[in-house]
Amino acid sequence: MPTSTDTDCVIRLDSLSMVYPTKSGGTVQALDDVSLSVRGGEFISIVGPSGCGKSTLLRIIMGLSRQTSGRVTFGPSEDTHRNQLGMVFQQPLLLPWRTVRKNLLMSPDLHRARDAATRAKADELLVMLGLEEFGDRYPNELSGGMQQRVGIGRALMHDPRILLMDEPFGALDAMTRDQMGLDLLKIWDQDRKTVLFVTHSIPEAVLLADRVVVMTPRPGRLADVVDVALPRPRRLENINTPEFGEIVLKIRKLLDSEHSAH
């Protein structure tokens, strides 16, 4: 990754709004005037009450939904495209008829780019994810946490510069979850991808991120963007420091005040 562009903006959201039509003929405003600049290599967590439009936001960035108004631009140069995005979903969404290795190779298979190099990369990823013995197993032979790791690996396979993660650890138990968060930080530390990480857990958001985006209840607006100026590498012990507690408290207050304002 070219260091000169590290501080440049890689995703720019300009007053994004999203209005869904409902079955009963009405409308639901999921996002309202969301603007945000994300710098390259930045780890951003997004927190907000359920239904505030976090998934909608990621889906728009990914190109799975089209916004009602506003713009998404990718930087820093013209040749930055959506194919430099990788998405990790809340569910692993592995294909049960493909082995773990072949699930990792999903993206190269779709682009007919499965060669020796990608296979080597898949093996590398298996090691990195701690799944080297499970390459030839099928997803239903794996635990939930392992499946989720495959889902993350699959998104990393085509080496996206930007990783969008929608509550990737939501379905995991607390212990696995902490471990996965730290593993994710390790992976992130290797080449500092830009990460947008949606979570319901405030401590998790703070532990991982450089900045935490706090959203309001529906329609989702940005309540505030909180800087997390904690040193890296982060460890689980960070959670017990007063600085950490302060940031968590600040975010909690933001969320509470937004709640009571409604």
Partner 1 sequence: MSTSTKRHAAEREAPEGEPVEAPARPGTPVRGRRRRVPEITYSVLVFLGLLVVWQVVVKLFDVSTILVPAPTAVAGSLVDGFQDGSLMTHSVVTLKEILLGFGIAVGSALVSAVLITQFRPVERVLFPLLILTQTIPKVAMAPLLIVWFGIGISSKVLTVALIAFFPLLINAVLGFRSAAHEQVEMLRSFGASRAQVMRHLQIPSALPHIFAGLEVAVILSVTGAVVAEFVGSSEGLGYLIQASNFTLDVARTFAVIVVLSAIGIALHAVVVRLGKWLVFWTATPTETAGEV
Ligand X SMILES: Nc1ncnc2c1ncn2[C@@H]1O[C@H](COP(=O)(O)OP(=O)(O)OP(=O)(O)O)[C@@H](O)[C@H]1O
Binding site for Mg ion (CB under 5 A): 55
54 binds ligand X (CB under 6 A): yes
Q: Which of 5, 8, 19, 28 binds ligand X (CB under 6 A)?
A: 28
- The least distance separating Mg ion from the CB of residue 90, rounded to whole angstroms, comes to 7
Tell me if 226 sits within 8 A of 48, measured CB to CB. no
Give the DSSP H/E element, type plus range, for residue 104. Answer: helix 100-104
By beta carbon distance, the residue nearest Mg ion is 55
- The least distance separating partner 1 from the CB of residue 110, rounded to whole angstroms, comes to 5
The window from 48-56, 94-102, 157-165, 223-231 that contacts ligand X (CB under 6 A) reads 48-56
- The least distance separating partner 1 from the CB of residue 219, rounded to whole angstroms, comes to 23
212 binds ligand X (CB under 6 A): no
Q: How far, in Å, CA of 150 to CA of 137, rounded?
A: 12
Residue that is written with structure tokens 């999203």 in the block = 18
Q: How far, in Å, CA of 12 to CA of 111, rounded?
A: 27
Tell me if 53 sits within 8 A of 35, measured CB to CB. no
Cα angle for residues 206, 210, 216 (degrees, 5° grid): 60
Question: 86-145: which residues touch partner 1 (CB under 8 A)?
Answer: 86-87, 89, 91, 93, 95-97, 106-107, 109-111, 138, 140-141
CA torsion, ordered 19, 88, 162, 228, to nearest 10 deg = 90
- Residue closer to partner 1 by CB (options 13, 87) is 87
50 binds ligand X (CB under 6 A): yes
Q: How far, in Å, CA of 113 to CA of 110, rounded?
A: 8
Give the DSSP H/E element, type plus range, for residue 108. Answer: helix 106-110
53 binds ligand X (CB under 6 A): yes
Q: Which of 10, 44, 47, 56 binds ligand X (CB under 6 A)?
A: 56
- The least distance separating ligand X from the CB of residue 65, rounded to whole angstroms, comes to 7
Q: Which of 10, 13, 30, 36 binds ligand X (CB under 6 A)?
A: 30
The window from 49-57, 104-112, 127-135, 239-247 that contacts ligand X (CB under 6 A) reads 49-57
The tokens for 5 are 């562009």
Give the DSSP H/E element, type plus range, for residue 147. Answer: helix 144-156
Work out what residue 62 binds among ligand X, partner 1, Mg ion, none; the CB cut-off runs from 5 to 8 Å by kind. partner 1
Q: What is the 3-state secondary structure (H, E, C) of 53-102?
A: CHHHHHHHHHCCCCCCEEEEEECCCCCCCHHHEEEECCCCCCCCCCCHHH
List of residues contacting ligand X (CB under 6 A):
20, 22, 28, 30, 48, 50-56, 218
List of residues contacting partner 1 (CB under 8 A):
59, 62, 64, 82-83, 85-87, 89, 91, 93, 95-97, 106-107, 109-111, 138, 140-141, 158
